[in-house]
C-alpha cells in the first residue's frame, strides 16, 4: 500500500469515528452512564456479559443463558450476537454501559469506512466514497434502531459486495474466501442481516456475472462455490440451537410479519427526532420509518439520468428494487416465495429491516451520481461540492434521541445476592404481558450475581415462561406458591412499593408457608425490596 493510500484510509477512519461520536453525542455526554432510552439496551448488555461469562465458565453451555429458568437454549430466543460478544469479551471487566456504547458506535463508524471502500473502488473517486459512507453510516434508519446493537453491525455488507466484484474480476481464491468470510461474519453479527445479505449476494452474483466476469467461468466458479460454502457451514452449526427453539415456538405469525413489514409510504417517514423531517406529534410506527434522505436520492437519480447508466448501476438498481420489495413482506412479490421455500424466512418478524439494504444500494448509486456530476470539474471545485454535499447530508440526518441513566454497577440488593449460595431467583410482582421490558432490566442486573432467574426478556418467549408468568401474576396465591416450589426457587425478591402494607403482611405469611424467611430490606436501584431465602 502506498503512503498516499495509507493516509487516505487513516483519514477516512478518523473522519467516520469523529462523525459517529458527533451524531450519537447524547450518549457521549456521560458514556459510562447514559444510553438510549429502551429496554433493549438492558438486553444488549445482558447478551454481551452472558457471552463473556459463559466463555470463562462453561463454553459448552453458551446458549443456556440464566434467564427463563428452567428453559434451555435461552440465548437462541433472539439474536445471540456472537461476534459482538466475542469482540466485547476482553472488555467484560469494564463499565458495562461504556462497553455497550462503544459496541454501538464502533460498527457505525466502521460501516462508514466499509462503504467508503466500496464507493471508492467502484467510482475511483474518494469524494464519492465519502458521500456513500455518510449515507450508509448515518441515514435515519440508524437512529430508528439506535437501541438495537446487532442492527448497527453492517460492516460486512459493503465489504461483501466489494469482495464479490473482485472475485468476478479476478477469479482469485482469496477473493472468494473473503466473500465467504464477509457473509459468515454478517450472520454471526446479525442473523436477520445474514439471511438478507446471503439472498441479495446470490442475486447480485447473477446480475454482475456477465458485467464483472473478466476471468474465464471455469476459473470463477470454484471460488464462488467456496464463497457459498463458508456461510452455509457457519449457518448450519449456528442453526442447531435455533432449530431446537423453532420446534418450540414455530414460525412467526403472519399478522406479526405484516405489522413489522414495510409499506411504500414508510420510505417517506423519518424518526420523530430527526430535526428536519421528524414529526413528534405524528411519530408513525416504530421500525417502519425508513426515509433514506433527499441528497442521497437525488445523487442516485443524477447518476442514472445525467449519462447512460452502466451495467453495474443497473445491477444495483435492480438489487435496490429487490430489497425494497422484500421489505414489504407478504405485500410484496418476493418474500412470499422465499418464505415458501426457505424456513429461515418464516422465523423473521421485521422485514422492514431490509431498509438498510435499500440505503446500501442507494448509497452505491449516489456514489456514481456524484462521480458523474464532478467528472469534468477541477479538484478545487470537486472538493467544494463534496464538502457542501457532505455537510448537507449530516445536517439532513441529524436526529435527537432520548438517553437515560443505566446502572453500571450492582445495586445493594444484587450485590448482596452475589455473596449467597447459588440458587434460583424469582422477582415479584411479575410484569404483565405488555410490560415484559421489566424482565430486560432484571436480566441485566442478574449479571452481577449470575444466578438463574425465572424472569427474562428476549425477541421471543418460551410458552413455559408465558404460562409461568400467568401463574405468578396473582402472587401470593396458592397456584403462585406451587409454581415457585416447582421451580425450586431459593430466593424471592419482593418489590415492596408494589404492595400495600396489608398485602405485604399476607406475603410474609404465605412465603413462611413455603419455608422462606426474610434476609433483609435492600435498595434494588429503583425501590426498596425484600429478599427472602428458603430455609
The model's pLDDT over 344-382, given as tens digits with 9 standing for 90+, comes to 999 999 999 999 999 999 999 999 999 999 998 999 999
φ, ψ at 521 (rounded to 5°): -105, 130
DSSP secondary structure, 30-75, as one string: STTTEEESSHHHHHHHHHHHHHHHHHHH-GGGTT--SSSTT-S-GG
Residue 516: phi and psi, rounded to 5, are: -115, 145
**Which are the contacts of 446, defined by CB distance < 8 A and separation ≥ 6?**
46, 66, 67, 414, 425, 453
Spatial contact of 249 and 463, defined as CB atoms under 8 Å apart = yes
Instruction: Enter the pTM of the model.
Output: 0.95
Helix or strand (DSSP H, E) at 425: strand 424-428
Residues of the chain with pLDDT under 70: 1, 212-215
Q: Which residues contact 38 (CB under 8 A, 6 or more apart)?
A: 147
37 phi/psi in degrees, rounded to 5: -75, 95
Tell me, what's the pLDDT at 23?
97
- Separation CA 268–CA 262 (nearest Å): 11
**Length of the chain, in residues:** 535
Cα torsion angle, 499, 503, 508, 513, sign: negative
Residue 528: beta bridge partners?
Answer: 523
- pLDDT digits 0-9 by tens, 483-518: 999 999 999 999 999 999 999 999 999 999 889 999
At residue 70, the pLDDT reads 95
What is the pLDDT, as a whole number, of residue 488?
A: 95
Cell matching residue 256: 406479526
Contact 529, 511 (CB under 8 A): no
pLDDT for the residue numbered 215: 65
CB contact at 8 A, 321 and 300 = no
pLDDT for 186 equals: 98
Amino acid at each position: 500500500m502506498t503512503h498516499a493510500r495509507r493516509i487516505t484510509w487513516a483519514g477516512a477512519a478518523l473522519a467516520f469515528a469523529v462523525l459517529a461520536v458527533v451524531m450519537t453525542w447524547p450518549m457521549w455526554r456521560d458514556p459510562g452512564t447514559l444510553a438510549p432510552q429502551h429496554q433493549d439496551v438492558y438486553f444488549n448488555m445482558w447478551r454481551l456479559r452472558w457471552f463473556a461469562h459463559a466463555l470463562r465458565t462453561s463454553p459448552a453451555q453458551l446458549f443456556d443463558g440464566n434467564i427463563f429458568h428452567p428453559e434451555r437454549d435461552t440465548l437462541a430466543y433472539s439474536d445471540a450476537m456472537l461476534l459482538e460478544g466475542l469482540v466485547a469479551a476482553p472488555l467484560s471487566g469494564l463499565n458495562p454501559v461504556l462497553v455497550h456504547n462503544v459496541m454501538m458506535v464502533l460498527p457505525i463508524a466502521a460501516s462508514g469506512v466499509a462503504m467508503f471502500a466500496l464507493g471508492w473502488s467502484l467510482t475511483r473517486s474518494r469524494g464519492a466514497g465519502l458521500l456513500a459512507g455518510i449515507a450508509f453510516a448515518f441515514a435515519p434508519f440508524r437512529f430508528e434502531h439506535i437501541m438495537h446493537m446487532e442492527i448497527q453491525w453492517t460492516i460486512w455488507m459493503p465489504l461483501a459486495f466489494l469482495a464479490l466484484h473482485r472475485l468476478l474480476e479476478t477469479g482469485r481464491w482469496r477473493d472468494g474466501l473473503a466473500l465467504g468470510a464477509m457473509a459468515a461474519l454478517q450472520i454471526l453479527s446479525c442473523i436477520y442481516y445474514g439471511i438478507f445479505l446471503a439472498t441479495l449476494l446470490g442475486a447480485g452474483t447473477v446480475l454482475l456475472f456477465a458485467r464483472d466476469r473478466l476471468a474465464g467461468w471455469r476459473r470463477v466458479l470454484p471460488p464462488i462455490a467456496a464463497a457459498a460454502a463458508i456461510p452455509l457451514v457457519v449457518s448450519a452449526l449456528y442453526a442447531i440451537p435455533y432449530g431446537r427453539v423453532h420446534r418450540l415456538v414455530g414460525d412467526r405469525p403472519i399478522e406479526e410479519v405484516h405489522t413489522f413489514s414495510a409499506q411504500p409510504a414508510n420510505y417517506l417517514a423519518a424518526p420523530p427526532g430527526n430535526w428536519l423531517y421528524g414529526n413528534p406529534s405524528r411519530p408513525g410506527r416504530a421500525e417502519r420509518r425508513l426515509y433514506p434522505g433527499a441528497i442521497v436520492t437525488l445523487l442516485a437519480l443524477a447518476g442514472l439520468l445525467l449519462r447512460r447508466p452502466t451495467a453495474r448501476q443497473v445491477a444495483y438498481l435492480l438489487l435496490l428494487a429487490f430489497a425494497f420489495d422484500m421489505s414489504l413482506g407478504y405485500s410484496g412479490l418476493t418474500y412470499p416465495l422465499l418464505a415458501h421455500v426457505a424456513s429461515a424466512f418464516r422465523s423473521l418478524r421485521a422485514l422492514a429491516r431490509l431498509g438498510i439494504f435499500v440505503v446500501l444500494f442507494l448509497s452505491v448509486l449516489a456514489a456514481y451520481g456524484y462521480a458523474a456530476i464532478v467528472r469534468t470539474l477541477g479538484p478545487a471545485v470537486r472538493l467544494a461540492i463534496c464538502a457542501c454535499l457532505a455537510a448537507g447530508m449530516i445536517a439532513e440526518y441529524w436526529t435527537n434521541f432520548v438517553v437515560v441513566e443505566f446502572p453500571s454497577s450492582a445495586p445493594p440488593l444484587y450485590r448482596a445476592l452475589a455473596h449467597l449460595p447459588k440458587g434460583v431467583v424469582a422477582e415479584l410482582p411479575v410484569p404483565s404481558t405488555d410490560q415484559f421490558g421489566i424482565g430486560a432490566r432484571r436480566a441485566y442486573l442478574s449479571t452481577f450475581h449470575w444466578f438463574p432467574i425465572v424472569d427474562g426478556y428476549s425477541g421471543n418467549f418460551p410458552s413455559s415462561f408465558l404460562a409461568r408468568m400467568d401463574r405468578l401474576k396473582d402472587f401470593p396465591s396458592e397456584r403462585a406458591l406451587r409454581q415457585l416450589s416447582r421451580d425450586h426457587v431459593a430466593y424471592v425478591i419482593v418489590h415492596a412499593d408494589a404492595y400495600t402494607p396489608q398485602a405485604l403482611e399476607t406475603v410474609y405469611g404465605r412465603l413462611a408457608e413455603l419455608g422462606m424467611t426474610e434476609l433483609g430490606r435492600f435498595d434494588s436501584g429503583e425501590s426498596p425490596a425484600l429478599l427472602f431465602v428458603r430455609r
